[in-house]
Amino acid sequence: MIEIHNLTTELHSDSGLVRAVDALTLSIERGETFALVGESGCGKSMTALSILRLLPDSGCVAAGGVDFDGTDIMQLPESRMRDYRGRRISIIFQEPSTSLNPVMTVGRQITEVIERHTDIRGAVALAKAVDWLARVGIPEPERRVNDYPFQMSGGQKQRVMIAIALAAEPDVVIADEPTTALDVTIQAQILDLLKELQASQKMAMLLITHDLAIVAQMAHRVALMYAGQVVEVAAASEFFARPLHPYAVNLFDALPDESKRGRRLASIAGTVPALNQEFAGCRFAERCADVMERCRCTAPSLRDFQAGHSVRCFLYDDPATAQRASLRLGQQALLAPDLEAGAPVLAVTDYKVWFPIRKGLFQRTVGHVKAVDGVTFSIAAGRTLALVGESGSGKTTVGKGLLQLLRGKAEISGSVMLMGQSMEALGGEALRTARRTVQIVFQDPFASLNPRMRVNEILEEGVASLHPEVSANDRRQRVAALLDKVGMSGAALSRYPHEFSGGQRQRLAIARALAVAPRLIVADEPTSALDVSVQAQILNLLRELQQELGVAYLFITHNFGVVEYLAHDIAVMKAGKLVESGSAEAILHHPTHEYTRALLRAVPRLDRSN
């Protein structure tokens, strides 16, 4: 269906010419799911944008071609390329908040695609838009079709983005992290929908993701990308049973799960190298435990190790060293024992957040949306409570409400005690002082980082505001150390948020929250946009801080691998209420509520036994 030949994409930047994609070659068959995996900043999304010719003004395809069903679409005029985008090839973007038009209803954005690429118009197109919203799991689609993007949760916006991409039933879908913001049940529903469309229409899919469990469930073939190059290509079953490249081996060792609880996750030292340089040798050499002298001076080529399995590594040139393919990093160092549960840092009792529904000329209140309806829980110092549940169940509203970010926007009742202080009773300077002890990591890093501020200003702002006693020099040192801890170089300090990938922006958001040394962090999907190795760095960092400082976490997530590894307690939320709560051991292994059991059944699992 698609054959990509030596695709090379270059970007002109202030730091020089960046070769984001370097001589990439791969093919995708009709009806096949081809997964492109690798760390944030490796060039995966840039590959997708190159195929669709949606590069920024500073970018261009410098060499190579993309043969789509017999036509090199790199050579088409823009007027003809518009007929391909949306109808023949469609894309699900990684960040729905920046991809959806904020001044158009979601229904109009779906019908726009239908009317542009098919003969369907008017009421029939709107009915089809409603049908697509239902198929991707939006509740009450007949009503929500008239909503604007800001009226939907992060997960719901992602589902709308998927509906837009599939509305014209394209031949090829490029799915760039399509389920990142989705809970496990909707994720399973979306993946089943994509499989169904593939079966009925022989649709091909380029799946870009960092979730290896989804790759194992969905993909027929896998390409592993690093620093703009493909370093390993194999059938999915072969790749998971026997990864060859040292980078692939490290990724598997970095996956969190219950078996690694109490140990440090394996994380890859350093970061992806800057792509504005000429490489003399292997691009992974500086981070590789198996590096040889020739790796630093000679660039390896992508060679066949066996039929259908290629690898870019000198380890496999000599049969005598090929046995190193089975090397693993082995058991990681044990962490210090978990702290004994102390006094509650946060105690929440019968907490309610009701949003008024207003209608009529005088905007009278005619009802309420009970986003949070009487939840009760507590978190002790040095403990992690994982709050799980489907998108729209009220998890994020709980987090924002606790920090008093919804005052004046909703009717709030119940008790929130932070370090023994009632948060509802605080205001002005007292509330500002209380916020030294609690910080939040928002779900959407792009929307929560000021686009007009450089990274150093963003990270220092909280320290300067909440800890004015810290000198400017100490602030700079603290920020530089934090940046290193979250796996980013000091060169990032002078850059703006738009210059980073989604995963890198999330790391900056986490660093900002940690900068003021809080006692409680409300983490709203903090690792959802991170690739596996950086996720391991962040989880190790969070565990270390918890053991050193006794910091507590309210961890809002749909990643059950992270829950299994990090959480001490779990609370399951549905439709604004807690349906089940208890220790992680009890909830994961002996759930009593059917909703909890349904969530656990929907979790994709990585089975490497094949």
Does residue 348 lie in a domain region?
no
Question: Residue 472 pLDDT > 70, yes or no?
Answer: yes
User: Are 303 and 400 members of one domain?
Assistant: no
The alpha-carbon radius of gyration of the chain (Å, integer) is 24
pLDDT for 393: 86
User: Are 152 and 50 members of one domain?
Assistant: yes
Q: How far apart are CA 333 and CA 280, in angstroms?
A: 34
Question: Residue 329 pLDDT > 50, yes or no?
Answer: no
Q: How far apart are CA 550 and CA 521, in angstroms?
A: 11
Which pLDDT band holds residue 327 (cuts at 50, 70, 90)?
Answer: very low
Question: Residue 336 pLDDT > 70, yes or no?
Answer: no
Neighbours of 555 (CB within 10 A): 28
Which pLDDT band holds residue 181 (cuts at 50, 70, 90)?
Answer: low
User: Are 399 and 465 members of one domain?
Assistant: yes
User: Are 285 and 212 members of one domain?
Assistant: no
User: Are 65 and 209 members of one domain?
Assistant: yes
> Which residue in 45, 33, 168, 12 sits closest to 504, CA to CA?
45
- Note the pLDDT tens digit of each residue in 340-392: 666 789 999 999 999 988 888 877 888 888 989 999 999 998 899 999 988 77
Structure tokens at 173: 């879908």
Does residue 523 lie in a domain region?
yes
Which pLDDT band holds residue 529 (cuts at 50, 70, 90)?
Answer: low
Instruction: For residue 533, give the CATH number of its domain.
Output: 3.40.50.300
On whether the CB atoms of residues 86 and 111 are closer than 8 A, the answer is no
Q: How far apart are CA 203 and CA 75, in angstroms?
A: 23
pTM of the model: 0.76
- Note the pLDDT tens digit of each residue in 71-94: 999 999 998 998 898 889 999 887
> Which residue in 477, 556, 467, 581 sits closest to 518, CA to CA?
467
Does residue 418 lie in a domain region?
no
User: Are 271 and 203 members of one domain?
Assistant: no
Number of domains the chain contains:
3
User: Are 191 and 282 members of one domain?
Assistant: no
Does residue 167 lie in a domain region?
yes
Is pLDDT larger for residue 505 or for residue 444? Answer: 505
Which pLDDT band holds residue 3 (cuts at 50, 70, 90)?
Answer: very high
Question: Which residue, chain included where needed, has tokens 């020739």?
Answer: 294
Is pLDDT larger for residue 555 or for residue 464? Answer: 555
Q: How far apart are CA 61 and CA 371, in angstroms?
A: 47
pLDDT for 306: 86
Which pLDDT band holds residue 13 (cuts at 50, 70, 90)?
Answer: confident
Beta bridge partners of 440: 522
Does residue 474 lie in a domain region?
yes
User: Are 513 and 582 members of one domain?
Assistant: yes
Does residue 314 lie in a domain region?
yes
pLDDT for 283: 92
pLDDT for 340: 61
Most confident of 227-231, 319-323, 391-395, 504-508: 227-231
pLDDT for 320: 59
Q: How far apart are CA 380 and CA 546, in angstroms?
A: 11
Does residue 458 lie in a domain region?
yes
How far apart, in Å, are the Cα atoms of 475 and each of 319, 463, 489, 490, 505? Answer: 53, 7, 17, 14, 20
Kindly tell me the number of DSSP H helices and DSSP E strands found in the chain.
22, 22
pLDDT for 289: 82
At how many degrees (to 10) do helices 502-514 and 455-466 cross?
20
Range of the domain at 192: 2-219
User: Are 306 and 387 members of one domain?
Assistant: no
Does residue 575 lie in a domain region?
yes
Percentage of the chain lying above the pLDDT 90 cut? 37
Question: Which residue, chain included where needed, has tokens 């993007």?
Answer: 149
User: Are 51 and 172 members of one domain?
Assistant: yes
Structure tokens at 333: 């160092």
User: Are 215 and 269 members of one domain?
Assistant: no
Question: Which residue, chain included where needed, has tokens 């270059």?
Answer: 10
User: Are 298 and 392 members of one domain?
Assistant: no
Phi, psi of 361, deg, nearest 5: -60, -40
> Which distant-in-sequence residues (6+ apart) come within 8 Å of 136 by Cβ?
159, 160, 162, 163, 166, 186, 189, 190, 193
pLDDT for 328: 45
- Note the pLDDT tens digit of each residue in 550-561: 889 999 987 888
Domain C-terminal end among 326, 341, 370: 326
On whether the CB atoms of residues 270 and 286 are closer than 8 A, the answer is yes
Q: How far apart are CA 373 and CA 575, in angstroms?
A: 8
Average pLDDT of the residues in 479-483 = 86
Percentage of the chain lying above the pLDDT 70 cut? 94
